[in-house]
Amino acid sequence: MTRISTSQMQTNAVNSMLKQHEKLSRTQQQVATGKKIFKPSENPVAAARVVNLKDTLAAIDQFQSNVDAARARITLSEGVLQNVVESLHRVRELAVQANNDSQNESTRAFIAAEVEQIQDALLNLANTTDSNNEYLYSGGLSRYKPFSRNEAGGFEYNGDESHREIQISRTRRIAVDDPGSEVFLEIKNGNGVFAVFDSKDNKGNGVIDPGQASGDYIPDTYAIVIDQSYENYADESRGGEIPVTYSVVNSKGEILKAGVPFQSGKEIEFNGVHTSIKGEVADGDVFIVRPSQHQDMFTTLENLIQALKSKTPGENDKVAFHNAMSRSLSDLNQALDNVLEVRGNIGARLNALDSQEIINDAYRIQIREILSNVEDLDFAEAVSRLNLELTGLEASQKAFTRVQDISLFNFL
């Protein structure tokens, strides 16, 4: 027979009530905070998962902040390039206006003055800074002013070729700017494949078209030489007069074509080059076709300014002017196309940011749902459990009171 002393019975009863009270207290705390877990020791696995999920949420919040920062910087750059495009359109309008023979040296000087102002404005746009005083077009060297004039009157790029990138998800980074070299410097002159030039010694008034290249274009430097020495092409209908012909010579001195009759405006085609010469040409006139080279936007405007300021007292001067203007218009078109291409890439990046923002939001909602399932309290179950534990504690306290009143001395 096991004997239970009064003190032992009281101790067991008190310990039982204390445990019941501890349960009730924890449930009350859960209901008050809405959380299941208060310290890792209660559920180490769940606590570790909560930490990981909260770290993931913090990372997503940072990615979303990065998306906002990237959008702000890219949008600023897009606005700058829009102004660049508008400026180039204005320069092109002025160039077309100046290339008309109704203009004279005086009116062209006024046009040149406006182009100079636009050139300065473009230089300022290329040196735009953001809210942090960082230059948009310096690449990775954002604290260095990207463009400046040198002592020779040319333009220098002080940035580098890198793109600054920002993390917008765990596995994705996006460029937030474009180096100035890609926007303002690395622009192919001419038609983007080849450029055409007239010789300063030409006697005729021929103006060569910028032309275009076909798929069989062979890069090389070619000379189109006007030649009237081919007597076999004497035109009997014109009393035996030798017609104007042209030859094409490559950089090795090899003659690709010879004695081809020349007609103003008629296509001249060889090795994938398609161009034409308008006007009257003279024996010995030379026109050069060579592969396009990089020419910065500011130099393109500088060439235009110098052409506008040139004196045209004689007929040959006017022809040289028109050829220079033709080249400038072609180079301006290339500059415009380059900026528009960069703007297209910017638009694609803005779309990518919008898409990633939606993905991040969806992922954040999913993580919050998982975290809620792990961490948040089921209030209906908790309140029911609270009432049950409260009833149990009250019953335990009443039972202890009744038992405490029982004594052997009451029956003696």
Containing domain of residue 217, as a range? 197-292
120 and 163 both lie in a single domain: yes
Residue at 304 is within a domain: no
Residue at 47 is within a domain: no
Of 141, 123, 122, 143, the C-alpha closest to 133 is 143
Of 115, 124, 128, the C-alpha closest to 88 is 115
pLDDT (tens digit per residue) in 30-50? 555 555 565 565 567 666 777
142 and 119 both lie in a single domain: yes
Q: Which residue pairs, CB below 8 angstroms and at least 24 apart, start in 128-136? A: 128/76, 128/80, 130/72, 130/73, 130/76, 131/72, 135/159, 136/73, 136/76, 136/77, 136/80, 136/177
Specify the higher pLDDT residue, 184 or 369.
184
Tell me what pLDDT residue 391 has: 64
Confidence of residue 324 (pLDDT cuts 50, 70, 90): very high
Residue at 77 is within a domain: yes
Specify the higher pLDDT residue, 143 or 29.
143
CA angle (53 as vertex; 49, 58 as ends), nearest 5 = 145
Residue 252: Cβ-neighbour burial (10 angstroms; 0-12, 13-18, 19+): exposed
pLDDT (tens digit per residue) in 239-261? 556 678 999 999 999 999 998 99
Crossing angle (nearest 10°) for helices 105-126 and 297-309: 160
118 and 215 both lie in a single domain: no
133 and 204 both lie in a single domain: no
| Position 312 pLDDT exceeds 80 | no
177 and 256 both lie in a single domain: no
Tell me the whole-structure pTM to 2 decimals: 0.78
Q: Where are the beta strands (DSSP E) in 212-355?
A: 212-213, 222-227, 245-249, 255-261, 267-270, 273-278, 286-291
116 token code pair: 């100079």
Tell me what pLDDT residue 394 has: 60
Of 191, 189, 197, 194, the C-alpha closest to 287 is 197
222 and 278 both lie in a single domain: yes
Rounded to an integer, the average pLDDT of 187-207 is 93
Of 233, 268, 292, the one marking the end of a domain is: 292
32 token code pair: 């008050």
Tell me what pLDDT residue 102 has: 87
200 token code pair: 């300063």
> Any residues with CB less than 8 A from the CB of 237 and at least 6 apart, and which?
none
Q: What is the mean pLDDT of the chain?
A: 83
Tell me what pLDDT residue 234 has: 47
> Any residues with CB less than 8 A from the CB of 131 and at least 6 apart, and which?
72
| Position 5 pLDDT exceeds 80 | no
178 and 80 both lie in a single domain: yes
pLDDT (tens digit per residue) in 146-165? 999 888 878 899 988 888 89
Lowest average pLDDT, out of 22-26, 250-254, 356-360, goes to 22-26
Tell me what pLDDT residue 362 has: 93
Lowest average pLDDT, out of 124-128, 309-313, 363-367, goes to 309-313
Specify the higher pLDDT residue, 234 or 204.
204
Residue with tokens 């500011």: 298
Tell me what pLDDT residue 227 has: 86
Tell me what pLDDT residue 346 has: 93
Length of the chain equals 412
CATH code (residue 156): 1.20.1330.10
Number of domains, the chain: 2
Residue at 313 is within a domain: no
Confidence of residue 232 (pLDDT cuts 50, 70, 90): very low
3-state secondary structure of 244: coil
Tell me what pLDDT residue 392 has: 58
Say what percent of the chain tops pLDDT 70. 75
CA distances (Å), origin 405, targets 76, 351, 398:
85, 80, 11
CA angle (339 as vertex; 78, 150 as ends), nearest 5 = 100
Tell me what pLDDT residue 370 has: 81
Of 90, 182, 81, 77, the C-alpha closest to 131 is 77
| Position 90 pLDDT exceeds 90 | yes
Rounded to an integer, the average pLDDT of 187-206 is 93
CA distances (Å), origin 358, targets 63, 64, 85, 113:
12, 10, 31, 49
Quote the CA–CA distance of 321 and 323 in Å, as a whole number.
Answer: 5
| Position 112 pLDDT exceeds 90 | yes
Confidence of residue 22 (pLDDT cuts 50, 70, 90): low
pLDDT (tens digit per residue) in 377-397? 544 555 555 556 566 556 665
Confidence of residue 374 (pLDDT cuts 50, 70, 90): low
| Position 207 pLDDT exceeds 60 | yes
Tell me what pLDDT residue 101 has: 85
Quote the CA–CA distance of 152 and 157 in Å, as a whole number.
Answer: 14
Tell me what pLDDT residue 61 has: 93
Residue at 176 is within a domain: yes
